[in-house]
A and B are shown apart, each in its own frame.
Chain A
Amino acid sequence: MSTTTLPPTKKDAPKSAPAATTSDRARSERKLGWLLAGPAFLVMLAVTAYPILQATYESLFSYRLTDPDNRSFVGLQNYGVILSDPLWWQSLWVTALITFVTVLVELVLGFALAMVMAKALSSIRPVVRAAILIPYAVITVVSAYAWQFAFDINTGFVNSWFAWIPGVGTDTDWFGDFGTSIFVICLAEIWKTTPFISLLLLAGLAQVPEVLQEAAKVDGATWWQRLWRVTLPNMKAAIMVALLFRTLDAFRIFDSIFVMTAGANGTESVSFLAYRQTISRLEIGLGSALSVLLFLSVVLIAAIFIKGFKVDLAQARGEG
């Protein structure tokens, strides 16, 4: 698409120009291109590649900030400590669980939202659109507090409103054990990010050719059949992109856990674990090793998506 969207004048130009100028032109265009895009490129490298290299280096040391004299080279020992520690596996499992649950629910719910928005009457569409942007725009910390206070045994209204549900009562302590804590954390995450997914899916929905829908209708396909045979296959790219982005985003979960449980009852995520080693315990070596491991996990997830599910980001993003 990069070539098809280029202005026609540009494509016409080389035809009428002599060969020598073409390569000159190409060369100067290349130069200009890098001149313009270079700074942004360099900044992006500087704020990510440099830190991760630094972290890789520091992960090879035993280094505690309040005890700088005892800094020593330990090779891969930090990685050994982490990988043999049940805490790492527990937090990895928790992170994976939250990621899986939230992304799955968000996808289904987001799709429903997108359908409603696509069909919503033009009179209420602006209202719905504005409303749906609000969870997206609200700060994660604010959303986490809102949900925490709602479920809190003292300040919350959930216990008194939902006391009719078996297992819920005025003295249900939602943050008192693992299952209920995770439930509220997932709820907050789902609320906050479903709208974003639904917007991505809405855009995908708009790309399903209306002709196909009509044709299927004429052939007597039910609504359900049309959904499975026409709508979904045609928006596969959009779904996969939404899935990839949300998965990687959910995997980084930190804010909600920090606010709601601070990692109590085994609800610690991998980001939170890394944060506590570096920032609370000032164990730079261990923290760096965790950072590297986390980075590798994200790369792995992305690789699985791109290779395994054949998500062509470039194509999905209009770059093919």
Chain B
Amino acid sequence: MSRREKTWWWVGGALIVVYCLFPIAWIVSLSLKAPSDLNTGGFLPSAVSWENYQLILTGGASDLFLPALRNSFGICLIATAISCLLAMFAAYAIARLDFPGKRLILSTALIVAIFPIISIVTPLFNLWRNIGLYDTWPGLIIPYLSLTLPISIWTMSAFFREIPWEMEQAAQVDGATTWQAFRKVIVPLATPGVFTTAIIAFFIAWNDFLYGISLTSTSAARPVPAAIGLFSGESQFVEPTGAIAAAAVIVTIPVVLLVLLFQRRIVAGLTNGAVKG
């Protein structure tokens, strides 16, 4: 590669980074603006102010934000755990066993993945009201499975298909018991796939908005994306721009951390599950 060509790829890479990070930088900058600084039309705050963070963490909006944060973490983690557990068994069967219906399961996962969420929301809203799941954690965890389970099954079975299962037999031949062989050989090989799947499933659950606003109505179960949309400012008529920006930054921190720590795996997981020729 010539030197000039090299420079161009550098520039291309830099452009991509700017493209990806610019809106995030903007919302961070906005969250650091004091209320009087919001309408100046500038990109950067004229002075860094933590007022918005105070508002949502200890001030008036904390009643909305903190419970929502707790709900989001709880609900998303439980939904992710359940779908990973279910997907683990399913993916094992798909990758390792030969049985009719394999394609049926994978096609079903595909159909569920493209299902219009609003079509699920309407009937669930009515059903949940009747059986008392409206505005509860399980009332969100169950529909979240429709988001997380299909992708978990796809991603995990793609990972599992690459595990050299014969090593298990080899270990058994070497005198290990079935359990030992499974634990010592298979588990370490399968863990990265399960872990990556969990991260991707968590992203998807964390992103949900429609279920969140439709199936909750109080801090008992309302997740963060839904709560942000309902924020109020310092008084009923003041625009909550700063509070929204600060909350947006806080909910973005976990996903950015996950991305920075596990970027390689996430890319592998996304592309593995999606395209394999």
A–B contact with Cβ pairs below 8 Å: the answer is yes
Residue positions of A touching B, CB distance < 8 A: 1-3, 5-10, 26, 29-30, 32-37, 39-41, 43-45, 47-48, 50-52, 54-55, 58, 113, 116-117, 119-121, 124-143, 145-147, 149-150, 154-157, 159-161, 170, 191, 195-196, 199-200, 202-204, 207, 237-238, 241-242, 245, 248-249, 251-252, 254-255, 258-259, 271, 274-275, 278-279, 284, 287-288, 290-292, 294-295, 297-298, 302, 313-319
The A-B contact count (CB < 8 A) is 342
Instruction: Report Cα–Cα, A170/B40, bound state, in Å.
Output: 11
Q: Are B108 and A32 in contact (CB under 8 A)?
A: no
Chain B interface category by residue count: 35 or more
Checking A134, A155, A254 against B38 with a beta-carbon cut-off of 8 angstroms, the contacting residue is A155
Interface of B is mostly: helix
Checking B97, B107, B108 against A33 with a beta-carbon cut-off of 8 angstroms, the contacting residue is B97
Q: Are B145 and A47 in contact (CB under 8 A)?
A: yes
Query: From B209, which residue of chain A is reached at the shortest CB distance?
Result: A255
Interface of A is mostly: helix
Checking B115, B154, B263, B272 against A133 with a beta-carbon cut-off of 8 angstroms, the contacting residue is B263
Binds A, one of B55-63, B162-170, B175-183, B190-198: B162-170
> Which residues from 67 to 97 on chain B have a C-beta closer than 8 Å to any C-beta of chain A?
86-87, 89-90, 92-97
Q: Are A52 and B12 in contact (CB under 8 A)?
A: no
Checking B14, B23, B89, B123 against A39 with a beta-carbon cut-off of 8 angstroms, the contacting residue is B89
> Which residues from 113 to 172 on chain B have a C-beta closer than 8 Å to any C-beta of chain A?
113-127, 142-143, 145-146, 149-150, 153-154, 158, 161-162, 164-166, 169
Instruction: Report Cα–Cα, A131/B153, bound state, in Å.
Output: 26
Q: How far is the CB of B263 from chain A (nearest CB, A)?
A: 5
Instruction: Report Cα–Cα, A215/B215, bound state, in Å.
Output: 58
Q: Which residues of A contact B248 (CB under 8 A)?
A: 139, 141-142, 145-146
Q: Are B122 and A274 in contact (CB under 8 A)?
A: yes
Q: Are B100 and A145 in contact (CB under 8 A)?
A: no
